[in-house]
């Protein structure tokens, strides 16, 4: 399914049930030890990421380009400013998109560019007077309103029909992928090139819009996580006669299976590879632009200020790069310095979106120490101000993986009960031994399941039985030795077994942040094991903490947990957030009666500090899974059959016994094989 910039997931129903990932009783104790994770984190943050896996176009000698800005006080004003710059003498057509839902705009921008017109913006309920005046200035013969009535209401459509153009139509309503295909079909009967982006993450979408606008070719979203290309997109590409496809992002953004399917019928398939949006943009620009072109800088976090970029680049060709709000990523600045030999850079967006240091082309690595420290201090103050008003107590670590590499730690070295987030360490310990050849994914555990099966169960539903199987396989002492040798000095299994639970274990937000940053950088495990571990974290479905603190469409890889101890409920979440402004790790450990909402509140503060305000956070269904086929529901794990549910039935997972999930299906409770279930949503 599309997990897009304009779609929010099904709201939670009133009176929804609390998920108990790991309910248990027991006394909580504190481990005392020397914590050195902050030193490890500092080393990790100092490392640079590879910008591109594709050969770059040879660059000219570095120059110091002149910089100008096109933008306004808000997204509507910025769209008008872009229109005025691109079309000083008018335009035959105007597209009007939503200020709040962007997926249709991403596709419509290049269509508007090919038709010779701009993309302007309207709220769902009213079109601004400046926008109406800009339409009058342009004197179009045709206006296309993009999206459904929830995107832009009929009141706006009727206002636009009131004398602004002889032909006013609506386009792009309905299911998002189908709507995107309709928008493309409205503007292109043929196309030589198509640029494909992920409709789940929209990674690199503004540079892709710019490229599509200049080429006057379509931009098409696909479900990047799918194992193959969907038939509708395949049919559209074939009908258009596309001879070249450019994929934006690495295989974690658009799968290798989609690329393979494309190669079967498209003569040329290129991939603009990159671990993040900055690297993907550099790679895309190296594919499509020679040295010497003017360059554009847009916000990597606030797409809205540059939704008209396709028409601007069509009028004045040049590569588009994303930037952080307060500095230019080093790799981006280096590429601009060599490529923008024509001597001009245009910053697209207002000063609240792209600050003065961006106009000054200040690299993030050389951004003043005072600026970085002030930002870290501000985030620390925001978190410290919020924590006293929340139930329980909280430790927080938040570290950027790139950019200014801001790092905040509030009691990050304190060793506390980590609940199920410690399963990340158990998974790491097992995969490290697989990389060393000491274990195999096919290794059988005492339960009879393979290590690969239990790794998935332990992360996907947070199964405690698989967790215990893995610890028993490796040994708690051996795992502790691994953690200590790698610098995770607050992380220990130090108790005894109590049924399926380990009575005493500790970790810290700094230890978990270290682990996550290493995993993200590829330094923790082999490439294959890193990919597998991140896949498990992205597919786990407990989303009421970090997942409920970010906008829909932002990819995350997390491992939450909760349990009851004598001092009260603990609530934890640890994850990587692949945010528009850059990837960061955030770990929040709540204790003494902490709540999921408290963790989510702090996670949102971190997100908004790094990326700007969120208009609306993602929401998720309480029924997280669905049946893939006709599925037997049993009285116990592998036990007596109770009833059968057909394919496509939504179910709520409660807990598990290894690969048998206890669920509520059609109002009845029972056990279902996890092999018969699929996630209803993804990241």
Percent share of the chain, pLDDT over 70? 89
Computed over every residue of the chain, the mean pLDDT equals 88
Overall average pLDDT of the 104-128 stretch: 96
Dihedral over Cα of 329, 551, 122, 199: its sign:
positive
C-alpha gyration radius of the chain: 26
Please give the pLDDT value at position 201: 84
Please give the pLDDT value at position 501: 57
Domains of the chain: 66-362 (no CATH), 380-611 (3.40.710.10), 625-679 (2.30.30.40)
Please give the pLDDT value at position 502: 57
Cα–Cα distance between 628 and 645 in angstroms, integer? Answer: 10
Res. 326: pLDDT tops 90 = no
Burial class (CB in 10 A: 0-12, 13-18, 19+), 640: exposed
pLDDT band at 52 (very low <50, low <70, confident <90, very high): very low
Please give the pLDDT value at position 21: 41
Please give the pLDDT value at position 500: 54
User: Tokens 């198509």 identify what position?
Assistant: 194
Tell me the two tokens of residue 286: 């190296």
Please give the pLDDT value at position 659: 97
Res. 24: pLDDT tops 70 = no
pLDDT band at 596 (very low <50, low <70, confident <90, very high): very high
Please give the pLDDT value at position 553: 77
Res. 487: pLDDT tops 90 = yes
Q: Which residues pair with 321 in a beta bridge?
A: 297
Between 174 and 393, whose confidence is greater? 393
Overall average pLDDT of the 465-485 stretch: 95
Overall average pLDDT of the 230-256 stretch: 96
Q: Are 16 and 112 in contact (CB under 8 A)?
A: no
pLDDT digits over 121-172, tens only?
999 999 999 999 999 999 999 999 999 998 999 999 999 999 999 999 999 9
Cα–Cα distance between 590 and 603 in angstroms, integer? Answer: 12
pLDDT digits over 64-83, tens only?
678 999 999 899 999 999 99
Please give the pLDDT value at position 498: 59
Overall average pLDDT of the 195-203 stretch: 91
Res. 451: pLDDT tops 90 = yes
Dihedral over Cα of 319, 357, 370, 352: its sign:
negative
pLDDT digits over 395-430, tens only?
999 999 988 899 999 999 999 999 999 999 999 999
Nearest to 399 by CA among 229, 588, 116: 588
Give kind and range of the element (H or E) at residue 323. Answer: strand 320-323
Cα–Cα distance between 138 and 118 in angstroms, integer? Answer: 9
pLDDT band at 539 (very low <50, low <70, confident <90, very high): very high
pTM attached to this predicted model: 0.72
Cα–Cα distance between 556 and 534 in angstroms, integer? Answer: 9
pLDDT digits over 623-649, tens only?
999 999 999 999 999 999 999 999 999
Please give the pLDDT value at position 567: 86
Cα–Cα distance between 499 and 300 in angstroms, integer? Answer: 48
pLDDT band at 456 (very low <50, low <70, confident <90, very high): very high
Please give the pLDDT value at position 566: 84
pLDDT band at 503 (very low <50, low <70, confident <90, very high): low
pLDDT band at 25 (very low <50, low <70, confident <90, very high): very low
Pairing verdict, β 193-198 and 244-248: parallel
Please give the pLDDT value at position 354: 92
Residue 683 carries which DSSP code?
A: -
Please give the pLDDT value at position 28: 36
Please give the pLDDT value at position 13: 30
Nearest to 509 by CA among 45, 43, 41, 44: 41
pLDDT band at 6 (very low <50, low <70, confident <90, very high): very low
């Amino acid at each position: 399914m599309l997990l897009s910039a304009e779609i929010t997931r099904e709201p939670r129903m009133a009176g929804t049930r609390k998920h108990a990932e790991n309910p248990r009783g027991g006394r909580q104790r504190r481990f005392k030890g020397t914590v050195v994770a902050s030193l490890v984190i500092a080393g990790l943050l100092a490392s640079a990421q590879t910008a591109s896996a594709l050969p770059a176009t040879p660059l000219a000698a570095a120059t110091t380009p002149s910089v100008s800005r096109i933008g306004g006080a808000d997204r509507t004003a910025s769209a008008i400013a872009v229109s005025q710059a691109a079309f000083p003498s008018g335009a035959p057509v105007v597209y009007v998109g939503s200020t709040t839902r962007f997926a249709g705009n991403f596709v419509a921008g290049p269509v508007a560019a090919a038709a010779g017109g701009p993309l302007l913006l309207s709220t769902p309920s009213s079109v601004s007077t400046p926008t109406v005046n800009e339409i009058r200035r342009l004197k179009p013969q045709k206006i296309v309103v993009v999206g459904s009535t929830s995107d832009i209401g009929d009141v706006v459509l009727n206002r636009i029909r009131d004398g602004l153009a002889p032909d006013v139509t609506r386009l792009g309503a309905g299911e998002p992928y189908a709507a995107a295909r309709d928008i493309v079909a409205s503007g292109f009967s043929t196309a030589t090139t198509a640029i494909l982006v992920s409709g789940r993450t929209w990674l690199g979408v503004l540079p892709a819009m710019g490229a599509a606008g200049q080429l006057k070719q379509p931009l098409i979203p696909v479900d990047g996580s799918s194992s193959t290309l969907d038939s509708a997109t395949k049919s559209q590409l074939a009908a258009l006669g596309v001879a070249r496809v450019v994929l934006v992002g690495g295989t974690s953004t658009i799968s290798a299976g989609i690329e393979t399917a494309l190669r079967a019928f498209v003569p040329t398939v290129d991939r603009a590879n990159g671990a993040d949006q900055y690297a993907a943009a550099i790679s895309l620009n190296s594919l499509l632009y020679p040295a010497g072109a003017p360059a554009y800088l847009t916000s990597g976090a606030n797409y809205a200020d540059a939704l008209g970029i396709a028409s601007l680049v069509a009028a004045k060709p040049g590569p588009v790069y994303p930037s952080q709000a307060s500095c230019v990523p080093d790799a981006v600045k280096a590429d601009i310095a060599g490529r923008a030999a024509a001597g001009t850079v245009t910053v697209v967006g207002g000063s609240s979106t792209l600050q003065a240091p961006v106009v000054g082309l200040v690299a993030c690595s050389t951004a003043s120490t005072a600026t970085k420290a002030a930002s870290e201090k501000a985030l620390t103050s925001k978190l410290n101000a919020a924590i006293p008003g929340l139930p329980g107590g909280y430790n927080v670590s938040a570290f950027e993986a790139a950019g200014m590499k801001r790092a905040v730690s509030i009691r990050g070295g304190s060793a506390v009960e980590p609940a199920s987030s410690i399963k990340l360490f158990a998974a790491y310990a097992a995969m490290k031994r697989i990389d060393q050849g000491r274990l195999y994914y096919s290794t059988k555990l005492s339960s009879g399941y393979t290590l690969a099966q239990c790794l998935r169960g332990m992360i996907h539903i947070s199964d405690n039985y698989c967790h215990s199987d893995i610890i028993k396989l490796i040994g708690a002492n051996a795992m502790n030795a691994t953690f200590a040798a790698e610098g995770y000095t607050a992380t220990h299994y130090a108790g005894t077994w109590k049924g399926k639970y380990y009575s005493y274990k500790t970790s810290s937000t700094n230890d978990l942040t270290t682990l996550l940053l290493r995993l993200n950088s590829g330094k923790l495990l082999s490439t294959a094991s890193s990919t597998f571990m991140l896949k498990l974290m992205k597919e786990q479905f407990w989303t009421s903490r970090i997942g409920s603190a970010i906008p829909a469409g932002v990819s995350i890889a997390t491992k939450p947990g909760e349990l009851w101890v004598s001092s009260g409920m603990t609530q934890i979440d640890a994850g990587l957030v692949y945010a528009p402004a850059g990837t960061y790790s955030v770990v929040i450990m709540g204790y003494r009666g902490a709540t999921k909402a408290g963790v989510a509140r702090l996670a949102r503060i971190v997100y908004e500090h790094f990326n700007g305000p969120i208009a609306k956070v993602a929401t998720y269904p309480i029924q997280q899974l669905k049946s893939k086929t006709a599925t037997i529901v049993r009285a116990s794990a592998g036990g007596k059959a109770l009833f059968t549910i057909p394919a496509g039935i939504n179910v709520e997972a409660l807990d598990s016994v290894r690969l048998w999930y206890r669920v509520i299906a059609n109002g009845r409770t029972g056990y279902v094989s996890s092999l018969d279930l699929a996630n209803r949503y993804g990241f």
